Amino acid sequence: MQRLIDAFFNSVRAFRKLAASEKAFQQELMLLVLALPAAWFVSVSWRGYALLIGAVLLLIMVEVLNTGIEAACDAFSREFNVDIQLAKDCGSLAVLISVVIVAGVWGIALIERLTGFPI
């Protein structure tokens, strides 16, 4: 049980650090705050609501992992290194893919809501 408690406090520490200093994380938190009520009006079911919010949470999760990759790379070396560049670029690509997923999920939900036809 102590391990779970420690993990919780480590997570809270990371959340506070990212919320205070990482612009992308701050923007995605604002997106989540806006998505919570918007998804209520866009979705046609509880499952749809969960999917809309889950997509935004997925984006935030990938951003957190990308930030972790960048921090680990920077701790190793701040000098240019082809392998470090690839690691950072792959993290950035993962975030981009997540953005595409969010846009797709929300786009489909909006089409369903506006047309009344489930896709």
The CATH code of the domain that includes 41 is 1.10.287.3610
Residue 92's SS3 state is helix
% of the chain beyond a pLDDT of 90: 94
Structure tokens at 54: 């889950």
**What would you measure as the largest C-alpha separation in the chain, in angstroms?**
54
Does 79 carry a binding-site annotation? no
Residue 2 lies inside a defined structural domain of this protein: no
pTM greater than 0.75 = yes
Confidence of residue 78 (pLDDT cuts 50, 70, 90): confident
Cα separation of 88 and 110, whole Å? Answer: 33
% of the chain beyond a pLDDT of 70: 99
Closest of 17, 52, 24, 25 to residue 36, by C-alpha: 52
Structure tokens at 40: 């209520």
Residue 112 a catalytic site member: no
Residue 61 lies inside a defined structural domain of this protein: yes
Residue 92 lies inside a defined structural domain of this protein: yes
Does 88 carry a binding-site annotation? yes
Residue 43 lies inside a defined structural domain of this protein: yes
- Active-site hit among 63, 67, 91, 106: 63
Residue 7 lies inside a defined structural domain of this protein: no
Question: How much is the pLDDT for 68?
Answer: 97
Does 89 carry a binding-site annotation? yes
Q: How many CB atoms lie within 10 A of CB 25?
A: 20
Q: 102: burial class by Cβ within 10 Å (0-12, 13-18, 19+)?
A: buried
Question: How much is the pLDDT for 118?
Answer: 78
Residue 46's domain comprises 23-115
Question: How much is the pLDDT for 117?
Answer: 84
User: Considering its fold, how many domains does the chain have in total?
Assistant: 1
